[in-house]
A and B are shown apart, each in its own frame.
Chain A
Amino acid sequence: MRWRPGAIFNAAFQGLTYLYLLAPILIVIPVSFSSATYLVFPPRGFSLRWYANFFSLQELTDALILSARLAASVALASTTIGTMAAFALVRHRMVGRELLRTLFLSPMVMPGVVLGIGMLIFFSRIRLIHTFWGLFFAHLVVTLPYVIRTVSATLQGFPRAVEEAAASLGGTPLTVFWTVTLPIVKPGVMAGAIFAFIISFDELVISIFLTGPLLSTLPVQIYNYIEFTSDPTLAAISVILILLTVAAVSLVERFVGFTHF
């Protein structure tokens, strides 16, 4: 490449844009190791006290455990139900298929506050407010579209001939499904499960409407915490959450690659 002024400007522009994308995520790392008792920049000293502080605050660790439990159950249920739906949508031609697809993907475009207030009103009538199952069903609704999209993408590139070959060699439909179909779609299903886990684990807005003082997820606790204090404890939690995200992104990249999205 020749270094004309245009090329230099272009490289600088791109570099700054990527920095802009990463800045709020990178900034919490140095802050989390600060030893000052208040938020100060540049951070002073080095300590792990904020990490220790996080694990000593019971409302935060309780929330972390609840979020992990919730996300794991949601991921399991969402992947099962979403994969079944994706098979029906991709493999079968039935009446109203396009309408069904639109319905299944529509929770994705709903503003969180709109779904939140709707669920608040409805769930308080059926006594699901401030309960684990209320959060579970709410998160299931918002994670399903991502599972359906991910699994559908894998299914669309699926070589049907392999299944037909297995069937013609005497495999029963169930055998064909377990030994041929499932191993081929597994990367898509795994990626869908990881997405569902992350989305449930990070979900904030709807959860704000459905949680209470006795039952709260980690994002809701952090949100409440930010509203009245901003000591570096939050930076420590943020670093833990970022590490989790990076692990998940590299897992998805390994299973399916980003070309599918």
Chain B
Amino acid sequence: MTRRVVPPSAVPWLLLAPILALLALFFVSPVAILARFSFYLARPGGQMIPAWVLQNYTRFLTDSFHLGVLWNTIVLGLWVTAVCLILGYPLAYSLARTRSTRRRSLGLTILLIPLMTSVVVRSYGWLILLASSGPINRLLLALGLVDHPLQLLFKPQGVVVALAEVLLPFMVLSIMPVLQGIDPHLEEASQSLGAGPIQTFRQVVLPLSLPGVAAGSILVFVLTISAFATPRLVGGATTHVMSIFIYDQALGVFNWPFGSAVSMLLLLVVLGLTWLQGRALEGRGIGGAG
């Protein structure tokens, strides 16, 4: 016979004790101290004075240079989202509709490889590919599409190409399950009622897949504005986005209060959009791609 040493209602809390202690100390505390520091008064030379001022926030949101950083971040997010949507939707459709499980499993494996590859490896690969004497420029020159090598590295265009590559899987994996949930008979019914493939797509498939499109687009946008390593390495010193700005404040000029305030702004946008992304998929029984 077994003796109950602990009451059954305590079991889950015993299981949860380690993770709760860990997150309280090493996750909640850092974010809380960040929130507090964002109201500190910063003095030149890395000095900080405990205070409750809004100066760090107003400085970022009123000055035209800093608003430019915010604007660059949004534009980069929109470009990467657009590229992922244009490339990702057809891919998601063909993966959702293929009858060959081997093709689907091969496609999903290729999609997962960039996700599992180190960001420094991928960024280094793009540095080789996008270089002015690299394979992309050589191909363009050989095809006669350009008459002199394009400057792709250390430019926003290069950052879009490199970021869309690693975020494309998130778009495909957000749209694919929604498309799989659409009964193929609906498309057949639409076609048998006289609609062509384009009309069927526009009036049947696309509207039904919009929750997946919305969720995938928000996810890709959020991950783009959160990204640091790829914009930094592929975009170089000329790329001014929020994540790089925060890094420079923290480790370059040691203005922790200002860096904290910009972090809080970025965090608010990210959390708000993530909540919206959850709403887009609500009740459909599928999660985001992580």
* Residue positions of A touching B, CB distance < 8 A: 10, 13-14, 17-18, 20-28, 31, 39-42, 81-82, 84-85, 87-88, 91-92, 94, 100, 103-104, 106-123, 125, 137-138, 140-141, 144, 146, 149, 172-173, 198, 201-202, 204-205, 208-209, 219, 222-223, 226-227, 230, 234-235, 237-238, 241-242, 245-246, 248-249, 253, 258, 261
Contact = CB atoms under 8 A, between A and B. Distances in A.
Given A21-B114, A24-B125, A27-B135, A111 B16 contact: no
Most buried by A among B33, B111, B162: B33
Contacts of B31: 110, 114-115, 118
Given A25-B125, A111-B263, 8 more contacts: A31-B128, A40-B133, A42-B135, A113-B263, A226-B233, A245-B118, A249-B113, A258-B109
B123 A241 contact: no
Contacts of A107: 23, 27
A82 B16 CA distance: 9
State the majority secondary structure of interface residues on B: helix
A104 B16 CA distance: 10
29 contacts: A10-B94, A17-B91, A21-B113, A24-B122, A24-B123, A26-B125, A27-B129, A39-B128, A40-B133, A41-B133, A84-B15, A94-B9, A103-B23, A109-B222, A110-B226, A112-B226, A114-B266, A114-B267, A116-B250, A117-B250, A117-B256, A118-B263, A119-B30, A120-B250, A140-B26, A204-B118, A241-B121, A245-B118, A253-B109
A23 B125 contact: yes
Contacts of A17: 87, 90-91, 168
A41 B135 contact: yes
A92 B15 CA distance: 10
Nearest to B95: A14
A230 to B, nearest CB: 6
Contacts of A108: 290
A10 B113 CA distance: 22
B107 A18 contact: yes
Given A41-B138, A103-B23, A28 B125 contact: yes
Given A118-B263, A121-B256, A88 B12 contact: yes
Given A21-B114, A27-B125, A209-B251, A204 B19 contact: no
A104 B125 contact: no
Contact of A41 (B27, B131, B173): B131
A230 B165 contact: no
Contacts of B142: none
B21 to A, nearest CB: 10
